[in-house]
Amino acid sequence: MNGLGGLNKSPNGVVIGLAQLALPVTKTKEDLTKQTVKVCEMMGKAKRFAAPIDLVVFPEYMLHGLSMDTRKEIMCDVDGPEVERLRQACVENDLWGCFSIMEYNPDGNPYNTGLIIDNKGEMRLNYRKLHPWIPVEPWEPGDKGLPVCEGPNGSTLGLAICHDGMFPEVSRELAYKGADIILRTAGYTPPIRHSWRITNQTNAFCNLAYTASVAMCGSDGTNDSMGEAMIVNFEGVPTVEGSDRADEIITGEVRPDLVREARINWAVENNIYQLGHRGYVAVKGGVTDAPYTYMKDLQDGTYHLPWEDEIVHKDGQAYGFPQPREKE
């Protein structure tokens, strides 16, 4: 159920607009400004839309395109003019927005940063992509963990950026912190189409959460992004699926109250609870240990695959990037 694409909003619903933004080419500061204006205009389009949208989600790379250009002059700051324009657009249109910037980093490569701004222009979430799509992306790995924030109509929002969604641990962490809607923004191209779909579905089902995901759309003359926005309910069933039409806004209603109901009342397949309460039928309260070797090794800094020494790509040089800096 999605209220006919959000046209019929329920009292407990959140209507999400997923903006399949046309893939830009950004080479200059003027290009960056022009693209920021376009995103703000899309906020206006969302406001005029027939469905009563609460939250507009824009794709990763919405301002910068897929060039992987890290020049300082086209990077953004969280308190810079581009983000200020986005704040104003949220206020002017009385809408929440989820946005993407490439954030200048004076100490290394830029961060790939996602922002959630409420309808009053307040920053609610500031997240740096934890898992850049290596070896293709040059971004500094995120250092802010995986925050969640209060969203519209009593929801709790989490954000995974593109490749983050391929790691089940990311969505599990967001849900563990209370997210009932997990947003996923991306710049993906068609070869990732199948992986995109199945991970959006499994991330929803395994965590009893909605996932709402959108990629850039169209071509920049070199890269082709796929659009394919989708909303998946907490049973892992897609309720809304987009197309490959650029600048289309795909809408649907989600029900965080039903997520909370399932998380409390489900017995069978309440896996996010059962992970930490193994075998509670046999043992009162279940076993609460961590039996997974990789978790312990990550914690100890000793993560090492049996085939790790044979792995070919361990930096980005094959994709034209220089040798990475040494760890501090």
Structural domain boundaries enclosing 231: 3-268
Distance between CA 3 and CA 15 in Å, rounded?
9
- Is 34 within a domain? yes
Collapsing DSSP to helix, strand or coil, 214 comes out as strand
What does the pLDDT read at residue 328? Answer: 78
Domain count, the chain: 1
With respect to residue 292, please indicate whether it lies within any of the assigned structural domains.
no
Domain-embedded: residue 306: no
pLDDT band, residue 292 (cuts 50/70/90): very high
CATH number at residue 48: 3.60.110.10
Contact 196, 186 (CB under 8 A): yes
Q: Are 256 and 156 in contact (CB under 8 A)?
A: yes
Could you give the percent of the chain with pLDDT greater than 90?
A: 95
pLDDT value of position 69: 97
Look at residues 89, 5, 81, 87 and name the one whose alpha carbon lies nearest to residue 43. 89
What's residue 218's pLDDT?
96
Catalytic residue IDs:
60, 129, 162
pLDDT at 215 over 80: yes
Percent of the chain with pLDDT over 70: 100
Q: Report if residue 100 sits inside a domain.
A: yes
User: Which pLDDT does position 327 carry in this prediction?
Assistant: 85
Q: Could you count the other beta carbons within 10 Å of the beta carbon of residue 46?
A: 24
d(CA 271, CA 33): 45
Q: Is the pLDDT of residue 181 over 90?
A: yes
pLDDT of residue 257: 98
Classify residue 109: in a domain, yes or no.
yes
pLDDT in tens, 216-225: 999 999 999 9
3-state SS of 76-138 is ECCCCHHHHHHHHHHHHHCCEEEEEEEECCCCCCCEEEEEEECCCCCEEEEEECCCCCCCCCC
For Cα atoms 160, 212, 151, give the angle at the middle one, nearest 5 degrees: 80
The answer to whether residue 44 is domain-embedded is: yes
d(CA 235, CA 257) in angstroms, rounded, equals 14
Flag whether 308 is in a domain.
no
> 55 forms bridges with which residues in the sheet?
16, 96
Kindly state the tokens that stand for 203: 């991330």
Q: Do the beta carbons of residue 97 and residue 89 sit within 8 Å?
A: yes
Residue 291 lies in a domain: no
Q: What is the mean pLDDT of residues 313-317?
A: 95
CA atoms of 53 and 240, how far apart (whole Å): 15
Per-residue pLDDT band for 2 (boundaries 50, 70, 90) equals confident
Average pLDDT of the residues in 40-62? 97
Q: Is 320 left (phi over 0), alpha (psi -120 to 50) or beta?
A: left
pLDDT higher at 5 or 75: 75
Compute the chain's Rg from CA coordinates. Answer: 20
Q: Structure tokens of 256?
A: 């965080």
Question: Of 119-123, 130-134, 241-245, 306-310, which gets the smallest average pLDDT?
Answer: 241-245
Q: Tens digit of pLDDT for each residue in 144-180?
A: 999 999 999 999 999 999 999 999 999 999 999 999 9
Q: Give the dihedral of Cα atoms 289, 295, 301, 304; nearest 10 deg.
A: 130
Q: Please write the tens of the pLDDT for every residue from 255-276.
A: 999 999 999 999 999 999 999 9
* CB-CB contact of 221 with 26 (8 Å): no
pLDDT band per the 50, 70, 90 thresholds, residue 3: confident
Q: If residue 298 lies in a helix (H) or strand (E), which one and from where to where? A: helix 293-300
- Would you state the structure tokens that stand for residue 193, as one six-digit string? 């189409």
